[in-house]
Amino acid sequence: KQEVTQIPAALSVPEGENLVLNCSFTDSAIYNLQWFRQDPGKGLTSLLLIQSSQREQTSGRLNASLDKSSGRSTLYIAASQPGDSATYLCAVIGGNNRLAFGKGNQVVVIP
Amino acid sequence: DAGVIQSPRHEVTEMGQEVTLRCKPISGHDYLFWYRQTMMRGLELLIYFNNNVPIDDSGMPEDRFSAKMPNASFSTLKIQPSEPRDSAVYFCASSLRGAGEAFFGQGTRLTVV
């Protein structure tokens, strides 16, 4: 069974600092990895999808890397802003089409 | 496209009552997923459909839970009878391919008292 871990569970950073969020997974036989953002009481917003053949994806201030062999992905958010405060979820997709989620990184950006 | 649409957004019901949650996936998407989110267990897959056919329902917790997809634009998740431990946020998601980018609805917050 795929296990997805996100550490740390919560972190606070001052505005302007770069954010680094880590995700690890136990089974490297994945198709894709997807990062989501969730605001309190809201649904999940897709940020980036990395296919298993890719090593990274970029969208604006966001960059996500994938190292399948070591079972790791990292989400970088450059020059963090208070509006980046949210919970960030990592999910891996295996051959059974099931998204396996981590518990998330709860981020607070301090103005 | 308006995205994945779920209704109702909030539902409060008494133990023993039947609850029906509804979902309209993104037009053209052929995969539909139902997830449940709790503080203790995070996000868990309950069931998913491909082309309206249930493919994997191994995450459905008990026989009290059932899901249907009568057509490509509508799905329901029913709980009968409901229990307080069913209280959670239920999400519906859809994707163009099984391993494609998944898009989530805003969720239904269910409270069973």
What residues are paired with A32 via a beta bridge? A51, A93
Per-residue pLDDT of B70-100, as tens digits, reads: 999 999 999 999 999 999 999 999 998 777 8
User: How is residue B109 written in tokens?
Assistant: 């917050």
For an interface test with B, give the residue of A99, A101, A103, A105 to mutate (most B CBs within 10 A): A99
Report pLDDT for A77. 96
What are the CA-CA distances from residue A42 to residues A18, A19, A33, A37, B50 (Å)?
A: 25, 22, 21, 10, 26
Which residues numbered 40-79 in B keep a CB inside 8 Å of some CB on A?
Answer: 42-43, 45, 48, 50, 55-56
Kindly report, residue by residue over B22-51, the tens digit of the pLDDT: 999 999 999 999 999 999 999 999 999 999
Q: For residue A19, what are its two tokens? A: 């954010």
